[in-house]
Structure 1
């Protein structure tokens, strides 16, 4: 057979195969895990961050919504984008005053809203959606590049500095997100962002970040060296066993926690809705659906090495709201995600305790959610 004819037949067969719906990729193996709920603390419905790098804000907003439910019983859908707008204003000022040497990205930390709330408060999504008319999803794919280009020009120390950025930065945000109101009506009452926050019992000073690393003293606050900590927020440092004890105690006592973790791991599977650490590295991917042993002894030193070698990085924020167990009685944390209800397990990830022990960066919670002995050690 001439070469050209042979090649043609191969290409034709490939084309027909590609067009044949019977040649779709095989479905993934069914999960062997069977989960039952232990408890879920009150939380608002799962939301979708869309095409925005603002998981930190969806995580914190969800956490604050649960705090409002715990404190007042009121179901409030908070405006994530109001917090995002305020964070950009703080990041922008910092970036310019530091002449472009600080971080200016879509990312952030769970405590970012706590920095802005004492002055700028909070508001419900009914008052400020943060989308322009016609937008079906949150999409910052055009806004962020325009912000960054402008910020780099304004921050350039080689150019004559003016105060143009003080008007230019809010103008870009308003162009894509709309203008946030100074006052608004909520359930028949007129509020400002500050009075709305006070009415719902939120005091930013009551919330603390807890982590566990050995390059700083235990039981002391320190500035955690992660890129998202652009505001230089402080984190209280605990030994790993006590760090895990805080998470379990808080949940069992009715307190949810905001979570920063590494979500780019073979054992983190949105497809199956689970996150685990296989005992055998060769099974790092199959552990998501095939029942098998997890890594049993995750030491403080191993956690530190993974962090310092950048094998554990802060790339996703979520909200821990409860616990589930599998058919063998192993307990997992039920973690609310921000990728919509059709993702993961109805929008939730089930994260094993070993995974949190190794791959979480920190948690944020109300100080009353700390065990009394640990709270005393931290001086809170």
Structure 2
């Protein structure tokens, strides 16, 4: 009995003495614009993808440009509304979207700087779309309920609501002394919408094919290249090593995702989350099968998009992705200033998809791009 007591004391002492607080060192830190807040909106897809494109502009041209997130939103809502009406309300109409929605709008409507189209009206300095989405939904539902009794054109009404809430569309503007249209401004940035590809990893569709991922925010039926999860990690790591940042769609509803601590992890002991944010802990091994299970039982959902801009490592050598969030700079306990350090385990389990420049892909995958 005494020996068992001594052994227990030794184990406790050994555990406590080996508990290490996180000490992160930068491995890769790519150029990105300032962390900002999406406010009270569900438009993380536009904020994160705009941030991604801003880094692409820096990488390609060396220019730092603050793009308008709300210009993309302004041109995406009518597309979502049309989809909702033509499906007679039997689909989701919300603020949500995906990275390819920004790419699609960019291809059709170009880009503008935030200084030209902020989406803020009446001297507001924070975005708030709670009333906007409610007003749009009521308008659309009224038309769907009885189109014959609807006395005006619902498309015109949607545009009028968007103009009133976000601002009217613009055809020309001046930026740094030069007059542009949205399309000529896009040309100046040297971004090509055809250069970007969305990649995912799920077993219910064949690997190395392109398929429509059936998730609520994929209203535009975007296609995704399907690869194995270890290859998704490899693609991500190689892209960062080559200087390409990455757009990320993932689940942040887990208690092990914390903006307060600036971390996202998958600890072995799910009952010890608070301590896992403070000291280095072992994480679960994530398999393709477990990832699929968590997706199909809705434990993993597409609820937030962010922007991967680098890597850090702790003192044990474990790698974490440096992820730029759009919830503003915060006073997190580890002072990450609006960034999240995401472990590889969390990435493998909770990533819905990534978007990257096609040049960041190995030649092995390039033959699948044409079907996107």
TM-score by length of 1: 0.88
| Correspondence list, 1:1-380, <5 A | 32-156=21-145, 159-160=148-149, 164-295=153-284, 297-342=285-330, 344=332, 345-376=336-367
Structure 1: stretches of 5+ with no match in the other structure: 1-30
2:271 match: secondary structure: helix
Q: CA offset at residue 157 of structure 1?
A: 5.1
Q: CA offset at residue 372 of structure 1?
A: 2.0
Q: Deviations over 1:210-235 (max 9, x none)?
A: 00000001111000011010100000
Q: CA offset at residue 207 of structure 1?
A: 0.6
Partner in structure 1 of residue 12 of structure 2: none
Partner in structure 1 of residue 10 of structure 2: none
| Structure 1 moving runs of 4+ over 3 Å | 157-163, 376-380
1:282 match: secondary structure: coil
2:243 match: secondary structure: coil
In 1: Cα distance, 2:331 partner to 2:300 partner: 23
Q: Deviations over 1:118-157 (max 9, x none)?
A: 2211100011010003212011121111111111112335
Q: Is the 8 A contact 1:95 1:155 kept in 2?
A: no
In 2: Cα distance, 1:250 partner to 1:238 partner: 15
In 2: Cα distance, 1:249 partner to 1:157 partner: 53
Q: Is the 8 A contact 2:308 2:323 kept in 1?
A: yes
In 1: Cα distance, 2:208 partner to 2:179 partner: 43
2:247 match: secondary structure: strand
- 278-287 vs 134-143, which deviates more? 278-287
Q: CA offset at residue 101 of structure 1?
A: 1.9
In 2: Cα distance, 1:97 partner to 1:376 partner: 35
In 1: Cα distance, 2:231 partner to 2:146 partner: 46
In 2: Cα distance, 1:283 partner to 1:305 partner: 23
TM-score by length of 2: 0.90
1:281 match: secondary structure: coil
In 2: Cα distance, 1:163 partner to 1:240 partner: 50
In 1: Cα distance, 2:187 partner to 2:151 partner: 36
In 1: Cα distance, 2:187 partner to 2:49 partner: 17
Q: Is the 8 A contact 2:259 2:338 kept in 1?
A: no
Q: Is the 8 A contact 1:59 1:318 kept in 2?
A: yes
In 1: Cα distance, 2:102 partner to 2:230 partner: 29
Structure 2: stretches of 5+ with no match in the other structure: 1-19
Q: CA offset at residue 289 of structure 1?
A: 2.1
Q: Is the 8 A contact 1:219 1:378 kept in 2?
A: no
Q: CA offset at residue 179 of structure 1?
A: 1.5
- Mark the CA change 1:370 to 1:168 in structure 2 (over 3 Å): closer, same or farther: same
Q: CA offset at residue 180 of structure 1?
A: 2.9
Q: Is the 8 A contact 2:32 2:309 kept in 1?
A: yes
2:355 match: secondary structure: strand
Q: CA offset at residue 39 of structure 1?
A: 2.0
